[in-house]
Chains A and B, each alone.
Chain A
């Protein structure tokens, strides 16, 4: 019997070469194992993008994963792709540095290539192959014949050394290739270089050649029909069995034998990456851990004022573990960033699992007291799990976050810190569209398809490509259409390009560019690594997330305004807890503008949940998420809160985990712990589950996990209903759920926003208006809500408004002044010139204003006049007087007449009436500080039997009623089975209307486009939550003002 053939595939690239490879690394690893190939080298084009995933997959199936890349190199023959394999850690580091150097030289999306001199510099530890038809040997041969090829080979030998250059042979049944191979063999024999057979793999199986062809078309912006010879000649670049390779290369057995020999030589794998987190430069003589202990102790004293035994014990336990895991440096570095933010007045708060750690709390990284909240530290860091801690920092979005990021770049150097990447993959709509283009569908069909294929969510069993295509009018029995459908499905989850992750940063001891190649991001000054956050975690690279949060900016601005106008200091870390006056309005769902609890769905559950202490808010934040809603956890939880149903557990073993949430899982950690307890998941498996639940979950992964869960539960004797219930809990969390610690951090911000809104309404409203757009409501709704709570708001006035909304004293009260930022079409720089000029000397007339602020265009002046901002400029003018004047002031005069001041005479125009003022206000600013449009028409409404929002709240359940008002939000959440939630606003508050899908179909126009409507229906008044279920809708002719509704379809 002959010995089975031995062959290692040493030249393969995956879909992570972005449109130049057709299979995922995992599929390639699995296929290798199935074909009895002991090792494979994963060489992406100009990067190591897919290497971590290939490494992890290879470990799982027990094959050896070699690392390398195809590097584009420019020489006198042109650009060639040179395959390089990493023999040692030094080789890998050199490859990373080489790629970083070439990538950072050119802007993102530009072709990068290395120079010969750079190859010489970074050659150590690398083995070079001569490549395929785009390799240096073939390129030289095509350009200059055998002599040029010899020259190229000689140069490669001089760069990498004779032992490190392999003459590569591929056989794809192509005449031209065979002719090249003949020359290559001759040259190899002549120069005594080893031959190496590879298959230049681009995909796992021959059928993926179709994916490859589609990618080629997408890359070249062609259609299949006209791509011609850009497409592959045949489908031979798949993973071939060793026997097949041996047969094809029967005439050159040494080329096959050398593959195993070289594979044995390549020692390096990603296991020994050589990543080290940077050390923190400790002042004085002590070690990092000693310094951390001192800082934590000192911080804890500041936080708790007095250290209880429980706190001290916890602190000691955590610090001991940090010492054992050698993570002191990491904590100190995050502490350093937080300290920088504090010193520079940037509000910062940690979220994520870090909120479970008392050390983080003591260091000021997080603001949730884990001892008081009884959060489990082990979820953040544990010795057994071998996971790395994950600290996320929330920063005010915009410039301040950028400042913190730049601080890290500056502190660790451009090559020592970078953002993590985000791999954009083909999902439903993108795949349908791009593949459609490649198949040459007309624009109309493409539009129809994209409109029909849902976004990122697979919402239900009917949301399949088959159904989408059938409803778009495509005939699935036609081969071309069937192929199209097939390819759309096959493209799912394949990477398309790399973008920047919103906030993840990695830093490294020494040079990050020797750990992973860096490349430029689209944003200038930003650098990203070639791996995404999961890859970084797999490679045990610690990341810090710096995320931007609009509400952080609001909190910070509020604190500044409170200091300036109320003369009080607010410390967010020490807000008075559990104040009834704060929870009162929250329980009544009076939460417009408050972080996370202002949406319609949140408002509808607040009176039922009835939060009275901080932990109630934590559950509230987690409650209204697609996960708990579709998993049908929200209603049981609320019923249990109201003691309308008993607290039960799917299985007695789950009681300790679910006790705090009344037997209903609401947090991600609970799901993970359920999997660990019921189905014997190990720490690593639970971590895998957590990732599968992440936002880029794949159907395949979820199915595998479900299988594992059921098997585990069967082992533990959990079957039947309990098993189904638990699986249902866990798999529905795939549609997003919050971790408890994350909820706690958000709840803290929610509480802070509620606290500021209730105690310092003027400051909070001004800050909220200055940070728009954010949240759920339009500025107009925010102003109207604040007015109903007693805040006096004053209109924009060029004699006193700044760019931002400000606070003023008026009759002993603090009032809000709307800022010039709300004037439509006014540039910030122009407004600032106006304010500076006004500070120099007040304006005496509209003429004076127009002359001294020449940046104000005619349109700006007219806009200011029409919203009444010029009314107070000298004498009392009405808006039309001002408009009449600015119409003249806008005509620029020559230098001779520039100083001639004309008096402001009254105009022939009549003053605006109420309706005209409303129209002008909404047209010019999007809001009004005057009475609500409905207020003017209340007597008429009463005559028509239309109730106000306040009246509706008093109506008993089941009674018919009619309400009228201005539509401020329309929402059609994916989780609500097609129901539309509409909010109507009038001068007394908001009324909530529910619109059923049937009713919507009959009244589409009124529901979607009318600004003012009257709706009749049945009152649903339960547990203090009042809704009107619509039965008829009519437009109301109240005002022609352009009041905008915030719609979420």
Chain B
């Protein structure tokens, strides 16, 4: 009986949840301090031709600090990218082109630019500040596909407020796994309110224990780490698939490691 009451109360709570609360729940998903991964990015152009890039990524503070090094194709090997997000000023973005042995900053106003010719823009790689958007919960009982299974999900609308964005709004489908809210699909609309991109995201659950690398102890934590991202630009009819492999977390990467010197050499 008690369980039933709790469930009813919980359901009631969920049903009355509003947009900002859901956005906060997504934002508050527990994340590791840092992540290192090897990624494969496949870019498909409108003629269906594919280009595959291998890259290593290191990030910290929910990707507020991030460095990416390109391993292949051979011609792009050694190119790298540094991003440091700031709350109170423009973000810092720099690219290292090894052929020229020169660093070049990327203007923060260029967030709509494509990242390495993919369908991901620099803005897509940047964390969203929860206060920069207004939210509206469109539905709490939508149906959506996740890992080939139909599941119930929330539908959340986010509209940028007073920020420089390439988008006019996002519609995000959110599922709940245990206590964690995960954005598994997102439609992003351009400034003319036309659908621009469809993103599908998959997560991998990683259990981390400080005491042992493998044993699950009381101090173990479960992290949901994105391990697959598909982006389709419906206007250009191009797509990008990012597969995240070899994920390592909480390696003790420090803020100072995100510097120009490290950008110039492969990890």
A binds B: no
Interface residues of A (CB under 8 A from B): none
Interface residues of B (CB under 8 A from A): none
